[in-house]
Amino acid sequence: MNKLLISSRIMRVEGILLLLVAGIHLAVIPTLRSVLVRILSPGDFRFVWPPFLLNHAVVGILLIPLGLSTLYCASGIRRGERWTWRVGMTNAITILSLPVVLVAVMERHYFSALPFLIATILITLVGLSMIWPLVWVRRDLK
């Protein structure tokens, strides 16, 4: 199997994963709302819910074009098209910047929460697994 095909398949999986995460972000909004309603006072809920909702909705919506452009990139890599390297690398750096920003701005105690730590590790792995196939095939793209 050649490098372009392997890299294309990796990027396709990454695009699908990004779309799946987008769907999860959007699908969990009602569940998160019901949890927050139960654990917060009405005043706290009115304060916390709007930015929380905005965050989940925006991230979910923005992950859709990121996932779709990664899928589009995957088909171009398979054909050896040079432009796909720029699009794929832009997407990969975008994903990989998230854990860097989290480490820079989040207080360390948040990383002791297992779901938060797992999510940070997974997003780091996704970013790295998007970059290495692009670096691997860069010279093969025309």
User: pLDDT per residue over 82-140, tens digit each?
Assistant: 999 999 999 999 999 989 998 999 898 888 888 778 878 888 888 899 999 999 999 99
| Domain annotation covers residue 142 | no
Q: What pLDDT does 13 receive?
A: 94
Burial class (CB in 10 A: 0-12, 13-18, 19+), 21: buried
**CA–CA distances in Å: residue 13 to residues 7, 16, 17:** 10, 5, 6
Sole residue written with tokens 């432009």? 83
Cβ atoms within 10 Å of 136's Cβ, excluding its own: 14
Which H or E run contains 35? Answer: helix 29-39
Q: Would you place residue 1 in the very low, low, confident or very high pLDDT band (cuts 50, 70, 90)?
A: low
The torsion angles phi and psi of 141, rounded to 5 degrees, stand at: -85, 135
| Domain annotation covers residue 71 | yes
Read off the pTM. Answer: 0.86
Which H or E run contains 42? Answer: helix 42-78
User: pLDDT per residue over 34-92, tens digit each?
Assistant: 999 999 999 999 999 999 999 889 999 999 999 999 999 999 999 999 999 999 999 99
* pLDDT at 16 exceeding the cut of 80: yes
Q: Would you place residue 6 in the very low, low, confident or very high pLDDT band (cuts 50, 70, 90)?
A: very high
Q: What pLDDT does 69 receive?
A: 96
| Domain annotation covers residue 74 | yes
Residue closest to 7 by CA, chosen among 63, 69, 68, 79: 79
* pLDDT at 142 exceeding the cut of 70: yes
| Domain annotation covers residue 141 | no
The encoded tokens of residue 3 equal 């490098």
**CA–CA distances in Å: residue 64 to residues 38, 70, 93, 136:** 30, 10, 16, 26
* pLDDT at 30 exceeding the cut of 70: yes
- Distance separating alpha carbons of residues 41 and 66, to the nearest angstrom: 36
| Domain annotation covers residue 100 | yes
| Domain annotation covers residue 47 | yes
Q: What pLDDT does 115 receive?
A: 74
**Domains identified in the chain, total number:** 1
Question: In which domain, by residue range, is 88 found?
Answer: 3-136
